[in-house]
Amino acid sequence: MIQDYINIVAGTFKQRKVRTILTMLGIFVGIAAIVSLIALGQGFERKITEEFEKLGSDKLMITPKAPFAPPGASTLGLELTKDDEEFVRKINGVEEITSYIFVPATLEFNDETRFFNVFGMPVDDGFELWKEIIGDIQIEEGRQIKQGDKFKIVIGNYHSQRNTFSKNVQLRNTIKINDVDFKVVGIWEFIGSPEDDKQITMPIDTAREVFDIPERVDAIIVRTAKGVNPSDVAATIKRRLRKHRGLDEGKEDFRVQSFEEVLRSFNQFIGVLQVVLVAIAGISLLVGGIGIMNTMYTSVLERTREIGVMKAIGARNGDIIQMYLIESGFLGIAGGVIGILIGVGISKGIELIVKNVLLFEFLEIFFPWYLVVGTLLFSFVVGALSGVLPAIHAANQKPVDALRYE
User: Which one is predicted more confidently, 329 or 155?
Assistant: 155
284 in a structural domain? yes
273 in a structural domain? yes
336 in a structural domain? yes
Mean pLDDT on 68-84: 64
236 in a structural domain? no
Of the candidates 225, 252, 284, which is a domain's last residue?
225
User: How do residues 312-334 score in pLDDT, each as one tens digit?
Assistant: 777 787 777 787 787 788 888 88
- Between CA 86 and CA 312 the distance in angstroms is 93
- Between CA 147 and CA 336 the distance in angstroms is 61
47 and 24 share one domain: yes
40 in a structural domain? yes
397 and 294 share one domain: yes
80 and 219 share one domain: yes
The whole-number pLDDT of residue 70 equals 45
The per-residue pLDDT of the chain, averaged, comes to 81
351 in a structural domain? yes
pLDDT band at 90 (very low <50, low <70, confident <90, very high): very high
70 and 14 share one domain: no
Look at 89-93, 100-104, 292-296, 336-340 and tell me which has the smallest mean pLDDT: 292-296
The whole-number pLDDT of residue 206 equals 94
pLDDT band at 241 (very low <50, low <70, confident <90, very high): very high
> Does residue 344 contact residue 396 with C-beta atoms inside 8 Å?
no
133 and 279 share one domain: no
Tally of structural domains, the chain? 2
The whole-number pLDDT of residue 68 equals 43
46 and 77 share one domain: no
> Does residue 233 contact residue 90 with C-beta atoms inside 8 Å?
no
Highest mean pLDDT of the ranges 122-136, 145-159, 358-372: 145-159
- Between CA 395 and CA 315 the distance in angstroms is 10
Q: Is the pLDDT of residue 276 over 70?
A: yes
164-169: long-range contacts (C-beta < 8 A, 24 or more apart)?
164/109, 164/114, 164/116, 164/198, 165/109, 165/110, 165/112, 165/114, 166/110, 166/112, 167/109, 167/110, 169/109
The whole-number pLDDT of residue 183 equals 95
- What are φ and ψ of residue 298, in 5° steps? -65, -40
Instruction: Mention every residue, 6+ apart, whose C-beta is less than 8 A from residue 199.
Output: 117, 119, 155, 156, 188
The whole-number pLDDT of residue 297 equals 76
- Between CA 60 and CA 229 the distance in angstroms is 11
235 in a structural domain? no
317 and 359 share one domain: yes
Q: Which domain holds residue 371?
A: 2-51+264-404
User: How do residues 330-383 score in pLDDT, each as one tens digit?
Assistant: 888 888 888 889 988 988 888 888 777 766 666 778 888 888 888 888 888 888
32 and 84 share one domain: no
Mean pLDDT on 167-186: 93
336 and 354 share one domain: yes
397 in a structural domain? yes
- Model's pTM, two decimal places? 0.62
The whole-number pLDDT of residue 175 equals 94
The whole-number pLDDT of residue 270 equals 76
Alpha-carbon distances of 104 from 80, 153, 327, rounded to whole Å: 17, 15, 63
pLDDT band at 8 (very low <50, low <70, confident <90, very high): low
User: How do residues 192-230 score in pLDDT, each as one tens digit?
Assistant: 777 778 889 999 999 999 999 999 999 999 999 988 888
163 and 306 share one domain: no
Of the candidates 178, 201, 225, which is a domain's last residue?
225
The whole-number pLDDT of residue 54 equals 66
40 and 9 share one domain: yes
- What are φ and ψ of residue 218, in 5° steps? -95, -20
User: Which one is predicted more confidently, 64 or 386?
Assistant: 64
Quick one: what percent of the chain has pLDDT higher than 90?
A: 24
pLDDT band at 91 (very low <50, low <70, confident <90, very high): very high
Of the candidates 196, 225, 254, which is a domain's last residue?
225
The alpha-carbon radius of gyration of the chain (Å, integer) is 32
18 and 92 share one domain: no
The whole-number pLDDT of residue 119 equals 92
Alpha-carbon distances of 323 from 95, 305, 386, 392, rounded to whole Å: 71, 15, 14, 11
